[in-house]
Each structure stands twice: as C-alpha cells, then as structure tokens.
C-alpha cells in the first residue's frame, strides 16, 4: 500500500522486497539454505534465481504468488568467487560470522554455538533463501522455481529447510500478537500508521543513502555490489511455552495476575495493547488497532510504573525513555521480519510436549555492529543502562544470569526471582542481502569462464 504523502524516493525496484515490505498476513513460507561446492554451478544457480527474486516495488501485485529473498554468508560469497579485494572490505563481524561473535552476543551456556542446529555456526551455510507466500499452493510454486534453479547441479546441496507459518490470530507461540512495530524507513513508500515515530534515514537500513549520521556507506566494495544492499542477522529460537505458563502460575495468585505479569514482561498485553496506554487491564480493541497500538510515549511513564524498564519492548526500543538521547536510539534501529514455526501448545497445557516451536527473526540493517549487536549485547543482556545491574530481558534472557525481573510498583517494587530461560537460540548467521543489480554483478563474476 502506498500513501500519496510518501512517494518512494528509494530505488525500490532494486531493493529486495524482504528488506522493506512486511510479510502478508496470513503467511506460509520456507527458509532454504544451500551449500555451493562448485563455483561455476553456484553462479549458474544464481543466474536462474535472479528473475524470481522479488523487488520491493512489486510484492503487493495481486498476481505474485509469493516472493523470494536471497542472501549470502561470507563463506557463500567466497564460494561464489567474490575477489579477495572485495571480501576484505566487508565488515569484520560479517566476515567472522555470528558463531564467532558468541561472547559479544552473550550466546553462552545453552545458547552457545556448540548447541546450535546444523548448519548454523559451520562453514556449510552459503546461500539463504527466504520464501514467503500467502498459501500452500503459492508456496509450492515458488519452491518449485527454487528447485529448478539447481536440480541438475550436483555442486549445489540443500543443507537446511524449515517451514514457517502464521499462528492463529497473528500470535507468537507464547500467545502475544507480534510484528506490531518496525521503524519507518524514509522514502520507502510503506504505509505508515501513527506512532511509528519520525522517519529514520534510509542509510540506516540500505546502503547507497545517507544514514542518521549523514554518512553514506563506502564499503563493501565495489559500489555495484553494495548499492541497495543490506545485512541481516538470522536468528532461530525455540520457545519454552510450558515453562512460561508454569512460571506465571507459580508467581500469580489468580489468572488475572498471570496475565498482568506476562504483560509486564513483554510491555504489551497478549492482544498487543501497550501497557503505557492500558496499564491495568487488557484492551483488545486497542491491541488490534494499528492506528493506536504504537501511539505511546514513555515520557508519561518515566518511573516504569506502567511499563517496567526491563520489559522486552522497553529495553529493545526505549523510544523516548532514554532522556535527551533520541539520536542515539535512532542509531540502534533495525527492521524486524519475524516468522513463527511449529504448532501452538494447546491452551492450558503446562507440561512440555517436546515439540519444537518458536520464531525465526531476520534483523535487517546496514550496520550489524551498532544495530543488532549493540541491542543484543547491551539493551537485551545488560541491565546497566536502566540501573538494573545484571538483570536481563525477561523473555529473551540467556539463562546465565540470576533470573531476576523488576516490576516498579508503589509503595515498593516487586522483584520476581528464579526466572527460567524461556527462549533458546537454535542457531543464527550474518548474511548480506544485495540489491537486484548487485545480484547480476555477482552472477557475472563467472563471465571470464564461460
């Protein structure tokens, strides 16, 4: 949907749809990860895939059955034969890969790369495809195109496949409505609801445009490769839903209080209604109203009495809560494309059924280090910026702290203890998602051999 007031100024026909456009609702999709053992075949596969990669200006065309996004790890770029002189200009964190950054990201204990699923954290993850569609039939069509791109190329192997789909009511496995907030990318042409805050400079998310510091990326090189490209952090989580329900039951004296504690942890009620606007009771109409469910300010709650400082959404996007620090907040935004996998745990069940369920996040931005890595290592895992010592995000904590969650309250605050780990990291990797012309540049790398 394009609103007249926000005509695209970005080269949206060159930027991949996955970067700028929200997924359809409802959605069905699959992540496919490929390993390239033969450079020429890798480039051939890429040439065949390019016509099917969706640009951001096209995805809402009703005839489009679904869309394909493509991204490459550092190992993948190497396998395709990107010259050393170019590879060396990629940011260090991307070259090292997510597993090597485990200490910085606090991926320790249960979340350590040693516990990740294959191929995460290995050199076998080269090309990642994200395929989104509105139903199973459309998904099959796009998957078939992906298959055709390499079915006769023995040098290409599928090393991972993972289906995902929307859970009933657009909820995540814990029962919270998700995908409610994303930053407003200046010039993107995306319809903006009130409350998304002022537009953030496109260069924060896409290379080739000025960012919030007024700078335009000068690497990676060459320019043809970086223009309209971006980086993404791929993170797969398993959610321990039974554990979450059990813990709420233990801490609360009534079902109403269970819901309140759950909302205090997230900063929103399960309906999506923000605590700042609905501090005592859920307001499902507010939660479901995209024109209202982001229209709030922490300036009205500087003591955290409505929404705790340590709640997930206040930590991870402090909005105006970090006084006089608005510019700094703008430097840590990224786009969030989340999807869910696995069946929901039936209502009322408090025993773990051993089934894998959770979420996969694509956290997208031009500056992995000061966006995803900063938020993950500071705002999510460190309590100091809110004077909470070693306290972590109550929802996404790594289980390696003392399990405390502070709820400001009068006359005295409430402190929950013994918080278990509700979310376990199953794997992740950094990828580069080029623009469409850049994909052609990559595919042309083999020209001298043809």
Q: Which residues are catalytic?
A: 178
Sites for ligand HEM among residues 273-292 (CB under 6 A) = none
- If one asks whether residue 336 binds ligand HEM (CB under 6 A), the answer comes out as yes
**Shortest Cβ 272–ligand HEM spacing (Å):** 6
- Residue 23 engages ligand HEM in binding (rule: CB under 6 A): no
Map the footprint of ligand HEM across residues 241-280, applying CB under 6 A.
266, 268
Return d(Cα 341, Cα 296) in angstroms, integer. Answer: 30
Interface stretch with ligand HEM, choices 24-32, 148-156, 231-239, 302-310 (CB under 6 A): 231-239
Residue 365: in which H helix or E strand, if any?
strand 358-365
Which of 125, 396, 424, 443 forms a contact with ligand HEM (CB under 6 A)?
396
Binding status of residue 397 toward ligand HEM by CB under 6 A: no
The interface region with ligand HEM, picked from 10-18, 120-128, 173-181, 349-357 by CB under 6 A, is 173-181
Cα separation, 161 vs 150, whole angstroms: 15
Q: Cβ neighbours of residue 140 under 8 Å, at least 6 residues apart?
A: none
* Residue whose CB is nearest to ligand HEM in the complex, by number: 317
Q: Report if residue 363 touches ligand HEM, rule: CB under 6 A.
A: yes
Please tell me the distance from the alpha carbon of residue 128 to that of residue 448, in angstroms, as a whole number: 26
Cis peptide before 423 (omega within 30 of 0): no
359 binds ligand HEM (CB under 6 A): yes
Nearest to 314 by CA among 391, 425, 426: 391
Query: Where in 138-274 does DSSP place strands (E)?
Result: 156-165, 230-239
| Shortest reach from residue 50's CB to ligand HEM, in Å | 30
Half-sphere exposure of residue 439, counting CA atoms within 13 Å on the CB side? 26
Q: How many CB atoms lie within 10 A of CB 218?
A: 10
Please report whether residue 178 would count as binding ligand HEM according to CB under 6 A. Answer: yes
Task: Please pick, from the candidates 27, 209, 247, 361, the single residue that binds ligand HEM as defined by CB under 6 A.
Answer: 361
**Rounded least distance, CB 363 to ligand HEM, Å:** 5
Q: Which of 61, 57, 295, 59 is nearest to 188 (CA)?
A: 57
Distance CA 282, CA 275 (A): 8
- Residues in region 106-165 near ligand HEM by CB under 6 A: none
- Whether residue 357 contacts residue 243, with contact meaning beta carbons closer than 8 Å, is answered with no
| Residue 196 beta carbon to ligand HEM: minimum distance, rounded to whole angstroms | 9
Q: Which stretch binds ligand HEM (CB under 6 A): 46-54, 161-169, 172-180, 276-284?
A: 172-180
Residue closer to ligand HEM by CB (options 175, 434) is 175
Residue 296 in contact with ligand HEM, rule: CB under 6 A: no
Interface pick for ligand HEM out of 129, 180, 241, 364 (rule CB under 6 A): 180
- Regarding 339 and contact with ligand HEM (CB under 6 A), the answer is no
Q: Is 44 in the site for ligand HEM (CB under 6 A)?
A: no
CB 390: neighbour CB atoms within 10 A?
Answer: 12
The DSSP secondary-structure symbol of 24 reads P
CB 121 within 8 A of CB 104: no
Q: Are the C-beta atoms of 236 and 119 separated by less than 8 Å?
A: no
Q: Which is nearer to ligand HEM, 225 or 273 (CB)?
A: 273
∠ Cα 146 151 155 (to 5°): 110
Q: State the DSSP H helix or E strand holding residue 358, giving kind and residue range, or none if neither.
A: strand 358-365
Does 376 sit near ligand HEM (CB under 6 A)?
yes
- 14/107 with CB nearer ligand HEM: 107
Among 24, 97, 113, 179, binds ligand HEM (CB under 6 A): 179
Residue 180 tokens, joined = 């409610």
Quote the longest CA-to-CA distance of the chain.
Answer: 76
Size of the site for ligand HEM (CB under 6 A): 28
Residue pair 36/126 in contact (Cβ under 8 Å)? The answer is yes
- Which one of the spans 232-240, 342-350, 409-417, 442-450 is the region binding ligand HEM (CB under 6 A)? 232-240
Site for ligand HEM in 77-106 (CB under 6 A): none
Residue identified by tokens 């051993």 is 354
Give me the residues that bind ligand HEM (CB under 6 A), please: 172, 174, 176, 178-181, 235, 237, 239, 266, 268, 312-313, 316-317, 336, 358-359, 361, 363, 372, 375-376, 380, 395-396, 423
């Amino acid at each position: 949907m394009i609103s007249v007031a926000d005509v695209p100024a970005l080269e949206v026909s060159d930027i991949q749809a996955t970067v700028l456009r929200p997924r359809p609702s409802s959605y069905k999709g699959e992540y496919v990860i490929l390993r390239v053992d033969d450079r020429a075949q890798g480039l051939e596969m890429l040439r065949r895939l390019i016509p099917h990669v969706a640009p951001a200006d096209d995805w809402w065309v009703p005839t489009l059955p679904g869309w394909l996004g493509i991204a490459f790890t550092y190992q993948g770029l190497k396998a395709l034969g990107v010259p050393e002189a170019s590879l060396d200009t990629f940011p260090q964190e991307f070259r090292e890969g997510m597993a090597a950054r485990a200490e910085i990201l606090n991926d320790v204990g249960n979340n350590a790369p040693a516990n990740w699923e294959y191929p995460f954290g290995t050199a076998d993850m080269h090309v990642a495809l994200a395929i989104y569609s509105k139903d199973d039939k459309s998904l099959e069509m796009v998957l078939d195109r992906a298959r055709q791109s390499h079915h006769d190329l023995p040098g290409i192997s599928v090393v991972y496949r993972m289906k995902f789909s929307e859970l009933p009511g657009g909820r995540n496995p814990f029962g919270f409505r998700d995908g409610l907030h994303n930053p407003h990318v200046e010039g993107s042409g995306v319809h903006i609801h009130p409350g998304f805050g002022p537009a953030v400079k496109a260069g924060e998310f896409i290379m080739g445009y000025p960012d919030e510091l007024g700078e335009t990326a000068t690497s990676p090189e060459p320019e043809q490769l970086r223009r309209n490209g971006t980086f993404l952090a791929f993170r797969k989580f398993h959610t321990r839903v039974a554990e979450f329900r059990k813990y709420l039951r233990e801490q609360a004296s009534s079902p109403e209080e269970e819901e309140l504690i759950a909302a205090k942890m997230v900063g929103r009620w399960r309906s999506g209604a923000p605590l700042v606007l609905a501090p005592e009771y859920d307001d499902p109409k507010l939660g479901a109203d995209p024109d209202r469910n982001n229209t709030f300010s922490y300036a009205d709650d500087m003591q955290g009495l409505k929404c705790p400082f340590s709640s997930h959404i206040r930590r991870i996007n402090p909005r105006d809560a970090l006084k006089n620090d608005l510019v700094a907040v703008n430097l840590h935004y990224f786009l969030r494309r989340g999807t869910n996998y696995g069946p929901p745990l039936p209502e009322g069940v408090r025993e773990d059924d051993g089934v894998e369920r959770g979420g996969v996040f694509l956290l997208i931005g031009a500056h992995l280090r000061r966006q995803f890595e900063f938020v993950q290592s500071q705002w999510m895992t460190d309590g100091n910026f809110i004077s909470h010592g070693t306290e972590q995000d109550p929802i996404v904590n790594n289980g390696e702290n003392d399990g405390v969650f502070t709820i400001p309250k009068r006359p005295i605050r409430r402190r929950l203890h013994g918080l278990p780990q509700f979310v376990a990291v199953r794997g992740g990797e950094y990828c580069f998602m080029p623009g469409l012309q850049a994909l052609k540049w990559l595919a042309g790398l083999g020209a001298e051999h043809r």
